[in-house]
């Protein structure tokens, strides 16, 4: 089973700043099968990025994904008030899904 | 528009079973699968398994292979998740999600399952 490790656990930033979230896999992940989700309290996760770098429908272009192999990054170019949330990476391989433990982006 | 509407809150005793439904609408039901994910209070996301809507092929996370059953009903465009032999640590919000090529793009609202004696 591929284990995903996200860092940092918590990111304290101000609106307008840039956020860089990391997701590291224990084995190579096919880029097609790496996704990022945003979750706010009391809500289901929301798909942001799939295929490592493709924005899902309706996702603003301040969200971008990059990376390959075992290292992936989610970047939020200029944080908006609605972006403070928890972010999860997820991979799918050998018919198994795994999630990272999440990164909380909080207001500094 | 794509919608996934889940059944309501469940309260169960240890050892019992729970069955959660997920009614899909707004798309071709047979063209996608469903993944099921849970989230214990204050914790992260945990994948349980997935099922192809039309053929009914399933794949379960190793931790749930002996007590999880996923099914679909194409006539009512509904997916079901049944978890048996419930324990207190199964207390969580359970989500269904439409499963595409390696990701889940639409999610249900979640169903709280509480296991308590």
Per cent of chain B over pLDDT 70 is: 100
Q: How far apart are CA A73 and CA A69, in angstroms?
A: 12
Return the closest-CA partner of residue B50 out of B81, B14, B15.
Answer: B81
Q: How far apart are CA B15 and CA B21, in angstroms?
A: 20
Return the pLDDT at A21. 98
Shortest CA gap B79–chain A (Å): 17
pLDDT tens-digit readout, A30-74:
767 999 999 999 999 999 999 999 999 999 999 999 999 999 999
Return the closest-CA partner of residue A35 out of A94, A104, A106, A99.
Answer: A99
Nearest CB to B47 within list A51, A97, A101 = A97
Return the pLDDT at B72. 96
pLDDT tens-digit readout, A79-91:
999 999 999 999 9
Shortest CA gap A94–chain B (Å): 10
Return the pLDDT at B25. 97
Per cent of chain B over pLDDT 90 is: 94
Return the pLDDT at B16. 98
Return the closest-CA partner of residue A88 out of A100, A77, A76, A79.
Answer: A100
**Residue B79 pLDDT class (50, 70, 90 cuts):** very high
Q: What is the mean pLDDT of residues A4-24?
A: 97
Cα distances (Å, whole numbers) of residue B35 to A9, A12, A65, A86, B92: 26, 32, 23, 20, 16
Return the closest-CA partner of residue B39 out of B106, B102, B108, B85.
Answer: B108
Q: Is B61 on the interface with A (CB under 8 A)?
A: yes
Q: How far apart are CA B33 and CA B55, in angstroms?
A: 9
Q: Is A1 on the interface with B (CB under 8 A)?
A: yes
Return the pLDDT at A31. 66
Omega within 30 of 0 (cis) for the link into A8: yes
Does residue B67 contact residue B43 with C-beta atoms inside 8 Å? no
Does residue A87 contact residue A37 with C-beta atoms inside 8 Å? yes
Return the pLDDT at B102. 84
> Given an 8 Å threshold on Cβ–Cβ distance, is B59 in contact with A96?
yes
**Residue A22 pLDDT class (50, 70, 90 cuts):** very high
Number of DSSP helices (H) and strands (E) in chain B, helices first: 0, 11
Residue B71 reports pLDDT greater than 90: yes
């Amino acid at each position: 089973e591929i284990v995903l490790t996200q860092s940092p656990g918590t990111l304290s930033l101000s609106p307008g700043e840039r956020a860089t979230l990391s997701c590291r896999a224990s084995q190579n992940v096919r880029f097609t099968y790496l996704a990022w989700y945003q979750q706010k309290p009391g809500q289901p996760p929301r798909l942001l990025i799939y295929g490592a770098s493709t924005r899902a429908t309706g996702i603003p272009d301040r969200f971008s994904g990059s990376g390959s192999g075992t290292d992936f990054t989610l970047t939020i170019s200029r944080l908006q008030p609605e972006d403070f949330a928890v972010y999860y990476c997820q991979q799918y391989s050998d018919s198994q899904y795994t999630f990272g433990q999440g990164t909380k982006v909080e207001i500094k | 528009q794509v919608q996934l509407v889940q059944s309501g809150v469940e309260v169960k005793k240890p050892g019992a079973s729970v069955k959660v439904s997920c009614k899909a609408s707004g798309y071709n039901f047979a063209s996608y699968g469903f993944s099921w994910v849970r989230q214990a209070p204050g914790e992260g996301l945990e994948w349980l398994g997935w099922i192809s809507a039309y053929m009914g092929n399933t794949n379960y996370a190793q931790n749930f292979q002996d007590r999880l059953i996923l099914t679909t009903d194409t006539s009512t465009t509904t997916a079901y998740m049944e978890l048996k032999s419930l324990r207190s640590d199964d207390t969580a919000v359970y989500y269904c999600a439409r499963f595409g090529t390696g990701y889940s793009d639409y999610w249900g609202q979640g169903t709280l399952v509480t296991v308590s004696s």
